[in-house]
Amino acid sequence: MQNYERFVTTAQRMADDIPPRPYLFVAFAIVGSRILGVSSNVYKTHSISKEHPYTLGVNSTLHAEAASILQVKPDKRSKLEMMVVRIPRDRSRGVAPARPCDGCMSLIREWDISKVTYTISPGEWGTIYPRRNQ
């Protein structure tokens, strides 16, 4: 079982280094206990955004999930699990819901990621098993 709090702590540290936003999504691409990729939303376009459009139709960012997966060598992607954390600007709230959008889920399924765990509220996590089409 993963120590989820280490992912929250790392995401909070990343939020400290980024200009204020209403919230920050951070995605971790992991195998076992090793982090192979980590990223927040990136304000740039990428062809993946066109292939897997985001639910709001805003494709000027590369979502954290896609950006973290792109850091991993293709031969390692089938072994990946993902953790997604949402940090609100108001840190007193802890974490916020971070379920991946439909576009990110499309990418996660295409790249055969086995499990996605995401924040719901402080101390509460949700899990999706994309191979089971949840």
Encode pLDDT of 88-121 as tens digits. Answer: 877 767 899 999 988 889 889 888 899 999 999 9
* Confidence grade of residue 55 (pLDDT, cut at 50, 70, 90): very low
- Assign residue 32 a region (left: φ > 0; alpha: ψ between -120 and 50; beta: otherwise): left
Strand partners, 26: 40, 85
3-class DSSP state for residue 33?
coil
Largest CA distance in the chain: 40
CA distance 118 to 123: 11
* Confidence grade of residue 28 (pLDDT, cut at 50, 70, 90): very high
Are 24 and 87 spatial neighbours (Cβ–Cβ below 8 Å)? yes
Output the six-digit token pair for 96. Answer: 């916020």
* 4-87+101-132 under CATH 3.40.140.10, yes or no: yes
DSSP string, 88-132: ESSGGG--B--PPPHHHHHHHHHTT--EEEEEEETTEEEEE-GGG
